[in-house]
Structure 1
Amino acid sequence: MFLVQLDVTVVNVALPHIGADLRTGLPGMQWVVDSYTVVLAACLLAAGVVGDRIGHRAVAVAGLALFGAASLLCGLAPGIGTLVAARALQGFAAALLLPSTLAVVTATFPDRAEQARALGIWAGVSALALPCGPVLGGLLVTLAGWRSVFLVNLPVVVAAIVLTLRRVRGDEPSSGRRLDVPGVLAAAVVLLTLTYCAIAYGHSGVSARTAGAAMVAVLAAAALARWERRAPEPLFPPSVVGDSRFVGANAVAALMNFVGIGVVFVVTLYLQGVRHYDALSAGVMLLPLFAPLALCAPFTGRLAARSGPRLPMLGGLLLGASGAACLTLVTPAGPYAALLPALLGLGLGMGLLTASVVAAALRAGPPSRPGLSSGVNNTARQAAGALGVAVLGAVAGDPADAERFTSGLRWAGVLSALLWIAAIVITLRTVPGRRDRDAPAGRR
């Protein structure tokens, strides 16, 4: 988990250097981020099912090995096309890893209170990569160039494979579940075309290509909905699609990542493209956003175990919405202090949200299908993160035009605040409070 999350924040800090070295503009930089997250999101559910069938430890080890190979390809990429393709391969490897880590935790700690605390540790370890990423990335870019941010993964992969083989017990595979290949392909097409539409619209406005991609997205979504009603073992079983608690928790998780990942992308471009800070300075300046994520996660796990996930979710969303609204204070030449409230608010908000929203989703999902529950939750988060980069990047525009970009950044803050206010409403309506936190999830 540390490895997967580290690669997100490390790459963000390196983007301006990648753009300059490989001679690509804003769309190319968006695809460096989104080729990873789009493939990750598209393959997560399939990876969860595969893990349930053949065992999550085996899938995790395969994912680690593939992640290492893809990182090497990224570090050696001669052009933007090769880098984007290698990042997509990294995303596929990360898809193998994410559901397996959650499934191992839920299988090892079946008691709800114990499981919530374990999820707090899981979220804390993964969140620790977020403050490490900008500083480590800035240091690596400054000392050794942008390629080093990918090559640094290789020793981590080797150590993780050895520790997984030694410390994680093999789990019992289940041969009765089949992979919904048409559903996986249709979902991938929907996500890819939506992301392409947002990036292309931000670059060139409405065009025949964006209209065509939008039509493909609509047709693929319709085909996916039709197929899922007829599939013998659908990606989205009716038992979870019809459960308002499960749907609500995952909707909040999606809105959390849409805002969080999208804001990280545009704020990184603001610091380096508009304010012209070097990579290391920009990484240090992002710490007020990332450090609370790591510090709050274990505390949030314990709080969710005692009182249920609803209270920390509401607190996190209120703080995050306030922080996003503070982006309206940013100016092209204003002091860093004007950006600080936005970073702190979003960081504290996501610190309270991450562990609690995962706990809420897993608690509402079918107990016998941890791979499915974790796959749906991570799919919602990663798909929304990819769309957040595309949409908020399109709203902000090219940082070469400082005035226009900063105006777009302020509008991105308004949109983000409104989305998290919507998430508050969803939480109040669908996530159970303390009294009924132990009641079984049901269809509403």
Structure 2
Amino acid sequence: MIRSPLLIVMCVGYFLVLLDVTVVNVALPAIGGTLDTGPAGLQWVVDGYALALAGLLLVGGTVGDVYGHKQVVLTGLVVFGLASLGCGLAPGVGWLVGARFVQGVGAALLLPGTLAIITDAFPDRTDQARAIGVWAGVGSAALPAGPLLGGLLVDWLGWRAVFFLNVPIVLVAAVVAARLVEARPHTGDRRVDWLGAVLGTALLGTVTYAVIEAGAWLLIVAAVLLAAFVAVESAKADPMLPPKLFRRPTFSVANAAAGIMNLCSLGLLFLVTQYLQTVRHHSALAAGLDLLPLFLPLTVLAPLTGRVAGRIGPRWPMVAGLVVAGAGFALLLTLTAGSSYWALLPALLLWGCGLGVLTPAVVAAAVGAARERSGLASAVNNTARQAGGALGIAAYGAVAGSAADARLFVSGMHVAGLVSVVLFLVAALSTALVRMN
């Protein structure tokens, strides 16, 4: 296709955004050793990115609608690239967390615009469907690539290379995008809900800080921020997050399931990665290879499940995915500090197969519940997933503590696994009881 270079560039942007959700996990022990930081610092290294992405993802799409997606995507690439450079040069954990937050801001500007530009560039429905399929496939590939690529870079070049790698890729992508993407005038019919974005990000950040730092009094601040956020969004004519959508049971259940999915999955991934490297003494590369049975089923099954959900509806694929992944979490309860990898493998396979069935179904359910605003529904679902992931890393990291104490860490991982089983079963039951189209 004539515009295929544009498609490649947009896919590169999407790939980098998702890659940085998982690639850092295998680098955490090395980061902790170099920067002399403990579990709380490592949680913030992951959550700094996740918080900014979750808090600003909704507003990122609106900014593109108002000011033009080309300008916003280029800005996102520049911010992401500079922040990646800052991460690689970080002299201490505070600097690294700050740079990770800025990296998340760039990702929030970049991600929604990549799909919008692809949609505009391929007006023919057949070409558009193929292009979006390529975009989604490249995004799925970022999940297994993250731990593997991260492991290679950490073992061969050190953890800073995980961030430095982004810089030349972003530079080339920005130059090509500037030449190929057509600038479109802003629509002028939407306004950016800056107050909603600030309140939403502050709310998520406050809850996360309260969990990581055990600051229970901050939950009072979070309650005030929540009340303010609901009041502001209810009063606006064009809010970032329309409260009325959550009056629809299907929409609420789908997004709750999406949040629980990432809360448990990213929280447990944070722990399992440290279990492999610190408790079982696997190298970063070996840990990346160990995690492939978790991510490969997601990549393979997601397209198939999407077609199944299109035929029979998303409810029963969601239920099946939640139950299968929950069974994988249950197997984590059998692990000890001395367990071999073969004891972990069945848990990873069930967990990955469950996510492969669940992920496309939960997106289809959320979008199907608000077809008149499918773009917003998709953005809300993505936000629920990113917010759930940020909270999961904070909560599960706080429960497990330092992996240096293997016995207590594994005990904490068992607690996190049990909580995940319960949450997934509750989500499965709630899904089964709600009628979905």
State whether TM-score is above 0.5. yes
How big is the shift at 1:154? 1.8
* 8 Å contact kept, 2:40–2:398: no
CA distance in 2: counterparts of 1:424 and 1:113, whole angstroms = 35
Any idea what SS the aligned residue of 1:367 has?
helix
* 8 Å contact kept, 1:191–1:383: yes
Across the aligned residues of Structure 1 and Structure 2, the Cα RMSD in angstroms comes to 2.4
- Which structure is richer in relative contact order (CA contacts within 8 A, separation 6 or more)? 1
* 8 Å contact kept, 1:117–1:302: no
In the alignment, is residue 321 of structure 1 matched against residue 326 of structure 2? Answer: yes
Match of 1:205 in 2: none
CA distance in 2: counterparts of 1:242 and 1:413, whole angstroms = 31
CA distance in 1: counterparts of 2:25 and 2:414, whole angstroms = 20
How big is the shift at 1:222? 1.3
How big is the shift at 1:333? 0.5
* More moved, 418-427 vs 302-311: 302-311
CA distance in 1: counterparts of 2:108 and 2:260, whole angstroms = 20
Match of 1:230 in 2: 235
Match of 2:386 in 1: 382
- Residue deviations 1:295-322, cap 9 Å, x none? 2222223323333333332222121111
Any idea what SS the aligned residue of 1:329 has?
coil
In the alignment, is residue 8 of structure 1 matched against residue 8 of structure 2? Answer: no
CA distance in 2: counterparts of 1:75 and 1:30, whole angstroms = 17
Equivalent position to 2:75, from 31, 37, 62: 62
Change in Cα spacing, 1:301 to 1:101, as seen in structure 2 (3 Å) is: farther
Give 2:99's aligned amino acid. A
CA distance in 1: counterparts of 2:62 and 2:118, whole angstroms = 16
Equivalent position to 2:270, from 242, 265, 269: 265
How big is the shift at 1:115? 8.4
How big is the shift at 1:261? 0.8
CA distance in 2: counterparts of 1:149 and 1:15, whole angstroms = 11
Q: How many residue pairs are counted as aligned between the two chains?
A: 424
Give 2:357's aligned amino acid. L
* 8 Å contact kept, 1:197–1:213: yes
CA distance in 2: counterparts of 1:329 and 1:116, whole angstroms = 44
- Residue deviations 1:241-263, cap 9 Å, x none? 32222222211111111111111
Change in Cα spacing, 1:99 to 1:136, as seen in structure 2 (3 Å) is: same
Aligned pairs for 1:171-186 (under 5 A) are 173-186=186-199
Percent of pairs identical after alignment? 51
Change in Cα spacing, 1:419 to 1:111, as seen in structure 2 (3 Å) is: farther
Match of 2:301 in 1: 296
How big is the shift at 1:417? 1.2
* 8 Å contact kept, 1:16–1:273: yes
In the alignment, is residue 249 of structure 1 matched against residue 254 of structure 2? Answer: yes
Match of 2:402 in 1: 398
In the alignment, is residue 19 of structure 1 matched against residue 32 of structure 2? Answer: yes
- Residue deviations 1:210-237, cap 9 Å, x none? 1331111111111112222222322222
Match of 2:160 in 1: 147
CA distance in 1: counterparts of 2:125 and 2:310, whole angstroms = 7
* More moved, 289-298 vs 234-243: 234-243
How big is the shift at 1:113? 11
CA distance in 1: counterparts of 2:82 and 2:150, whole angstroms = 20
CA distance in 2: counterparts of 1:47 and 1:62, whole angstroms = 11
How big is the shift at 1:48? 1.9
Change in Cα spacing, 1:14 to 1:150, as seen in structure 2 (3 Å) is: same
CA distance in 2: counterparts of 1:53 and 1:99, whole angstroms = 13
Match of 1:305 in 2: 310
CA distance in 1: counterparts of 2:125 and 2:28, whole angstroms = 41
* More moved, 330-339 vs 235-244: 235-244
CA distance in 2: counterparts of 1:259 and 1:378, whole angstroms = 15
CA distance in 2: counterparts of 1:114 and 1:412, whole angstroms = 44
- Residue deviations 1:93-140, cap 9 Å, x none? 111122223445667789999988876654432121111111111111
CA distance in 1: counterparts of 2:351 and 2:133, whole angstroms = 19
In the alignment, is residue 415 of structure 1 matched against residue 419 of structure 2? Answer: yes
TM-score normalised by the chain length of structure 1: 0.89
Any idea what SS the aligned residue of 2:49 has?
helix
Aligned pairs for 1:84-233 (under 5 A) are 84-104=97-117, 121-162=134-175, 164-165=177-178, 173-201=186-214, 210-233=215-238
Match of 1:343 in 2: 348
CA distance in 2: counterparts of 1:114 and 1:259, whole angstroms = 36
How big is the shift at 1:335? 1.0
* 8 Å contact kept, 2:319–2:429: no
Give 1:426's aligned amino acid. S
* 8 Å contact kept, 2:66–2:192: no
* More moved, 61-70 vs 293-302: 293-302
Match of 2:288 in 1: 283
CA distance in 2: counterparts of 1:259 and 1:388, whole angstroms = 6
Change in Cα spacing, 1:120 to 1:318, as seen in structure 2 (3 Å) is: farther
* 8 Å contact kept, 1:43–1:95: yes
Change in Cα spacing, 1:272 to 1:431, as seen in structure 2 (3 Å) is: farther
Change in Cα spacing, 1:37 to 1:197, as seen in structure 2 (3 Å) is: same
Give 1:373's aligned amino acid. A
* 8 Å contact kept, 2:264–2:392: yes
- Residue deviations 1:145-200, cap 9 Å, x none? 10000011123223433554566555563212112222212111210111011111
* 8 Å contact kept, 1:123–1:355: no
* 8 Å contact kept, 1:98–1:378: no
CA distance in 2: counterparts of 1:299 and 1:77, whole angstroms = 42
CA distance in 1: counterparts of 2:302 and 2:316, whole angstroms = 14
How big is the shift at 1:408? 0.9
Give 1:95's aligned amino acid. A
* More moved, 69-78 vs 233-242: 233-242
CA distance in 1: counterparts of 2:117 and 2:323, whole angstroms = 32
Any idea what SS the aligned residue of 2:23 has?
helix
* 8 Å contact kept, 1:103–1:374: no
* More moved, 338-347 vs 117-126: 117-126
* 8 Å contact kept, 1:120–1:298: no
CA distance in 2: counterparts of 1:119 and 1:427, whole angstroms = 28
